[in-house]
Amino acid sequence: MSAADFLKKTALFGGLTDADLENVLRTTKERNFPEGDLVIEEGAPGRGFFLILSGTAQARKGETMLADFGAGDYFGEMAVLLEDTPRTADVVATSDLTCLVITAWDLRALITTHPDVGVRMMGELLRRLRDTDALLPD
């Protein structure tokens, strides 16, 4: 399956035209992480947004597991959307992982030209915040 076909099947990019998807793909870089690799480190500056093509990853805050991610899921959007915000959790590859990475400035440009992508992303952020609040002790 091509990367464009894959993106069409994701909740975030499913509504984009083929031309728009090609424009998105021109801004991405493919990155591979072996199982156990730290993909994002808590406290580090947020410069990239990750969309999983294959494999799995897990968001962790200390010893607390926050979320599991698989193909079609994404992470790293909060630190990218909120300028000068450090990463809020570690993300570790729980299997060999292949991601498309979009830089902060390219993601902001995408949201400017396609506000529906931003609306979908905000909905996912709110869902994650709700789920994370339920996991963390008071």
**Cα–Cα distance for residue pair 134/53, rounded to 1 Å:** 28
pTM of the complete model: 0.81
Q: Indicate whether 65 belongs to any domain.
A: yes
**Cα–Cα distance for residue pair 72/83, rounded to 1 Å:** 25
Indicate which CATH number applies to the domain containing 38: 2.60.120.10
Q: Indicate whether 60 belongs to any domain.
A: yes
Domain range for 98 is 3-133
Number of domains in the chain: 1
Q: Indicate whether 49 belongs to any domain.
A: yes
pLDDT per residue as tens digits for the range 31-72: 999 999 999 999 998 888 899 999 999 999 988 898 899 998
